[in-house]
Structures are given as structure tokens and as C-alpha cells.
Amino acid sequence: MNFTMVIADDEPLVLKSLEMLVAKNFPHIQVTGLAENGVELKELLERLEPDLAVVDIRMPGLSGIEVIELMRSKGCKTRFIINTAFSDFEYVKKALDLKTDGYILKPGKQDEKIRAISELCRAVEAERKKNSRQSNLDSALQVVNPYLGSEILMSIFSKKCDEEHFKVYLDINGLNFSGGCIATFLIKRPGRMGARELNRELGNILDGICGFLATVTSDGIVVLLFAPDRSDRAEQRSWCAGLAELIARALMERTGSECLYGVGTVYPSFSDMPRSYRESIAKLREDHKDRPDLPADNADKIKDYVETAKQYIESNFIRDISLMACAESVGISPYYLSHIFKEKTGRTFVEYLTAVRMDRAKELCRNQNLTVKDISDRCGYINTTYFCKVFKRNVGKTIGAYRQELLRTESERGT
């Protein structure tokens, strides 16, 4: 692992000696700057942002201690070793107060200097690895969280709360749940924002305010709001209602569309969230009785989602389509669509898509002028060999045998 270093000392001989020591014993350290006074050191630290710095305590202008103190106040990430001919306790104490990473004395033994720099390199390397692991974890959570959240909300819509996945979500995000409610937002003409943009915007609104789960539906957004940890349920209810109003205003401003909303009762248990969801819909209808275009009951919505997905498949099976593309078209999460599609049709998305393609393939087989590749292309399969395998697995015979059977049947009818 490579590092950059700045060295500061008002004695040119010491400065050169340290530079040579580093060059000889630490090929993975690049000395990017040398300073002979505090002002030069400050400029180098600001401009180069080195990983490491060996700094003399007493230098003209600004002392090494003063520079370190100033840079620390600015959030400087450089790790410091102090280098001094003064064994005065007050200087060492001041350096330790500033959380420097050690000190070496001049003149001092070379092996002590090498040891001090080596220990600092190991500390920086360990910190880099820790930060890298945390960064990878954060990136993974950014990908996993929306899908896990949609899966959990899907269970609420289905009235079968997935408490196991909810606990996992809380654990990996370091969250506590002492109560919450469902808020349903109906966005009229949300054409200026896609489903992903709406979800991202909601994250921007709620980040740092409270924990939440959200999923985008064809009507708008359904959100599980984590209520603040307060014993007074009325206060929690008021807080959630105020937050829902804030969300609605922000979405109206962002989308340029009207945003209606309803908030369910705050309950202490996650298992009560289906009830809160139904109440949010009821509240939405109660507050806007004059609106005929409010969300349908959940059962009707699920039926509509599935029918819309089936229409999408039947209109686009010739293309290379996916569950994610279909869900985006319907306006719900892929996990939610996958669950309700299997529940209502008895088939997975892929099984239904394959069935539609096979039905079309059997129709095309009647045209003896079409080659197998022609049929494969018109059914959405790029690879003809794969198409033939799928056909045999689903129809029970090869495409050639199926066409021969069609010819015999037509011949028998003709006679």
C-alpha cells in the first residue's frame, strides 16, 4: 500500500537526513513536500493533503504544534509524528492532546525512527481497510435497502407482516422501532418523475428525520414512518401527521402535481401496520370524498397490477423483457410484482412469459414457410438453440416433430 508524506524541519541537514531515511527504508512512501518553517508546512498540508507528516515542534513563524492544531481544526486527515530535540514534557503533552501518532527525538537512533514510521504506516493501512469495508457496506445497503423495504411493505399489503425481514432491516441499518404508521400519498399526473426519482426524492426528504420504508405504486407512494420514541401516542400521531404534510408539500413542489395523502393510526407493533395501511386509505377517502379517482381497495389494486403486467408481457414478449422492466411499467417494485403475480396467476413472471411465447411459437409453426430461426426471432429468443430446448421442455416434443404432427392432422382433415 502506497503513502504520501511531508517532512518539516528548520534544520536543512535534519530535513535531508529524514528524506533519505524514508527513501531507503520505505519504498512505498513518496515524499511529496519538504518545509523549513511552519508557514510552508501549512501550505503543503493544505495543497497536497498527504497521508503522513513528520513535523518539527519548533520552527520559525508557526511552530509545528500550532500548525497541527490549526489543521486539525480544519478537519485535516493527515497523520502526524512530531520530531524534536526537546524532551520537554509540556511539548510532548501538547502533541498527545492533539492526537499525534507518536514522536521521535533528534538526534535519535535510526531504528527508533524507522519503527515509529512503520507503526504509523500500519495504522493508516488498517484505517484505510476499515473505511473501505464501511464504504462497501454502505454501497451494498444502498442497493439492498430499497428492495428489502419493498418486500416488507408488500407483506403489509398482503396482510401477512414479514416480521423476520423487518427485524433484519432494523439490524443492518442500526434502527429501532418503537411504533409507526402508514402514510399513503396519491400523486396526480406524476409524469415529470419516474418511480425511481420519486423514491429517491422521498429519501432526500426523510433522511436524518426518521426511519422509514417506502415503495412506489401506480398511484403514488406508500410509506411506513417510524414514530419518535415517545410514550404519548397522541404526540406520535401529531408528529407523523406533520411529517406527512411536509412530504406532500415537497412532492408537490418537486413533481408540479397535486399530492393528496392519508395517515393511519400510530401503533406500537409492526404487526399492526396492515391496519394502519387500511386506515390511511380510509382517511384519504374521508378527506377527499368529492374525488372519484382515489386509490381502490388493495384487492382491486393487486388485480389491476397483475392485469397490467399480463398486458405488458403480451404486448412485449417479442423483446428481451425482464421482471424489472415490467414492474417499472406497472409502477411497483419488482419484488411486489413477483409476489402478487405468482399469487394471482399461479405462475412466476418467467413462467407466464414463456407460456405466452410458446403459444405464439405453436401458432407460427403452422406456417411451413417460416424457418426455426424465424419463429425463434418472432417469439423473443435471440439464441435459436436455446429456443428449441425451451420449446421441447414446454411442449413435450421438438419443434420439427410438432410441425410434422400439424401436417398429419391437417392432412387427415383434408381426407
Take residue 252 and report the three cell numbers written for it.
Answer: 408537490
Q: Is the pLDDT of residue 93 over 70?
A: no
Q: Is the pLDDT of residue 140 over 50?
A: no
What number is the average pLDDT over the span 184-213?
A: 71
In the block, residue with C-alpha cell 422501532: 177
Q: Which domains are delineated in the chain?
A: 3-108 (3.40.50.2300), 143-292 (3.30.70), 300-414 (1.10.10.60)
Write phi, then psi, for 275 (nearest 5 degrees): -65, -40
AA identity, residue 72:
R
Max avg pLDDT among 144-158, 193-207, 271-285: 271-285
Inter-CA distances, 51 with 48, 94, 109, 323, Å: 9, 21, 24, 47
What number is the average pLDDT over the span 331-344?
A: 80
| Per-residue pLDDT, 99 | 59
In the chain, the percentage of residues whose pLDDT exceeds 70 is 84
* Run of H or E including 258: none
CB atoms under 10 Å from CB of 93, counted, come to 10
Q: Is the pLDDT of residue 371 over 90?
A: yes
50: nearest Cα among 8, 21, 14 = 8
Q: What is the average pLDDT value for the chain, to the nearest integer? A: 83
CB atoms under 10 Å from CB of 66, counted, come to 16
Q: Is the pLDDT of residue 154 over 90?
A: no
AA identity, residue 146:
P
254: nearest Cα among 204, 215, 211 = 204
| Per-residue pLDDT, 309 | 93
Q: How far apart are CA 52 and CA 28, in angstroms?
A: 12
Q: Provide the pLDDT confidence category of residue 380 given band limits of 50, 70 and 90.
A: very high
Max avg pLDDT among 67-76, 103-112, 151-160: 67-76
| Per-residue pLDDT, 159 | 66
In the chain, the percentage of residues whose pLDDT exceeds 90 is 34
Q: Is the pLDDT of residue 348 over 70?
A: yes
Residues in the chain: 415
What number is the average pLDDT over the span 168-196?
A: 76
Q: How far apart are CA 270 and CA 268, in angstroms?
A: 7
| Per-residue pLDDT, 256 | 78
| Per-residue pLDDT, 146 | 62
Ranges 5-9, 192-196, 242-246, 268-272: which has the least confidence: 192-196
| Per-residue pLDDT, 95 | 54
| Per-residue pLDDT, 314 | 94
What number is the average pLDDT over the span 142-148?
A: 59
What number is the average pLDDT over the span 106-127?
A: 85
